[in-house]
């Protein structure tokens, strides 16, 4: 108190006294003595969502007559083509769709294994289904290219240049390469010591990962209970195709023109799959080619 009175007698002391009087009024006005004079808290801001909701997928009706019937256990071949259609060689009488070869029906197997060769592998129903699917893809390639190729070319496709169908940092998450493999259930090939051939690359990604068109073209959506599971086949023109298999969902309608880099689906584990991943193929006519020859550079 003495220090306060002494302050009043100095220059500027009147201002100090006025300040003390104001504090006294505040205390007298109901605030407990000694209470801190803090500003009122600001209102809590409205929290924003972590991410935007995912778009609603468009239902994808399966094209007619694209579900192969697996053979009876014991090694008999499916009626739509049989084993031996997966190795990277064109079927007899086939050729590049751009030249008009191949036809639109099921393709004849490129190689008919002998009973001894077929006995080198145990009966694998999943393998028979996948071989039948690939035989039908080979047989349908010319018709699809003739029907949709002009539209795909007009949109900018058909140049044989491709992008990765997923987004990743660093090295691509490849879990299985193109070519000879010892994974059970892969299509038969007489050129491999293991008698099995993988016609694409597998990319290890979680279920729901966005899948993008590797090049511009026309998207065809398929639902199968085995083999590739739910998959998208894109016709790019000039005999080029890409295939994305084991999907969980589609985000484009069947028959839509898609641009390179456009979202087309989400990854999953449908069909013959042991876990979430994307099976990705590049095809030239009836022949699957190594995607790494175009992407792993």
* pLDDT tens per residue across span 242-291: 999 999 999 999 999 999 999 999 999 999 999 999 999 999 998 999 99
Residue 183 has pLDDT above 70, yes or no: yes
For 189, other C-beta atoms within 10 Å of its C-beta total 26
DSSP string, 10-29: STTHHHHHHHHHHHHHHHHT
Retrieve residue 269's tokens: 């584990």
Mean pLDDT, range 86-112, rounded to an integer? 34
* CA–CA distance, 118 with 100 (Å, rounded to integer): 32
At 146, the pLDDT band (50, 70, 90 cuts) reads: very high
| Burial zone of 32 (CB within 10 Å; 0-12 exposed, 13-18 middle, 19+ buried) | exposed
Residue 113 has pLDDT above 80, yes or no: no
Question: Residue 42's pLDDT is what?
Answer: 39
Which CATH code for domain 97-295?
A: 2.70.70.10
Mean pLDDT, range 218-237, rounded to an integer? 95
Question: Residue 119's pLDDT is what?
Answer: 72
Question: Residue 112's pLDDT is what?
Answer: 56
Mean pLDDT, range 216-234, rounded to an integer? 95
Indicate yes or no: pTM above 0.85.
no
For 238, other C-beta atoms within 10 Å of its C-beta total 17
- The structure tokens 């660093």 sit at 170
3-state DSSP of 43-68: CCCCCCCCCCCCCCCCCCCCCCCCCC
């Amino acid at each position: 108190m003495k220090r306060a009175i002494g302050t009043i007698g100095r220059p500027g002391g009147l201002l100090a006294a006025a300040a003390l009087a104001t504090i006294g009024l505040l205390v007298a006005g109901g605030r407990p003595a000694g209470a801190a004079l803090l500003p009122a808290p600001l209102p809590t801001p409205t929290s924003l969502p972590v991410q935007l909701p995912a778009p609603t997928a468009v239902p994808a009706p399966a094209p007619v007559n694209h579900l192969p019937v697996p053979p009876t256990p014991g090694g008999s071949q499916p009626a739509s083509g049989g084993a031996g259609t997966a190795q990277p060689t064109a079927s007899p009488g086939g050729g590049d769709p751009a030249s008009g070869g191949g036809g639109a029906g099921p393709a004849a197997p490129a190689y008919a294994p002998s009973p001894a060769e077929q006995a080198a592998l145990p009966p694998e129903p999943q393998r028979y289904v996948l071989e039948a699917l690939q035989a039908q893809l080979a047989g349908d390639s010319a018709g699809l290219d003739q029907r949709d190729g002009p539209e795909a070319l007009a949109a900018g496709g058909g140049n044989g240049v491709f992008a990765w169908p997923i987004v990743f940092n660093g090295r691509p998450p490849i879990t299985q390469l193109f070519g000879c493999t010892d994974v059970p259930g892969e299509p038969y090939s007489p050129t491999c010591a293991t008698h099995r051939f993988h016609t694409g690359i597998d990319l290890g990604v979680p279920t729901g990962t966005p899948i993008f068109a590797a090049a511009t073209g026309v998207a065809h959506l398929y639902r199968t209970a085995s083999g590739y599971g739910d998959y998208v086949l894109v016709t790019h023109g000039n005999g080029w195709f890409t295939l994305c298999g084991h999907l969980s969902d589609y985000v484009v309608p069947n028959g839509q023109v898609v641009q390179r880099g456009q979202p087309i689906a989400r990854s999953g584990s449908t069909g013959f799959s042991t876990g979430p991943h994307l099976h990705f193929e590049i095809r030239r006519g009836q022949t699957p080619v190594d995607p790494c020859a175009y992407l792993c550079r």
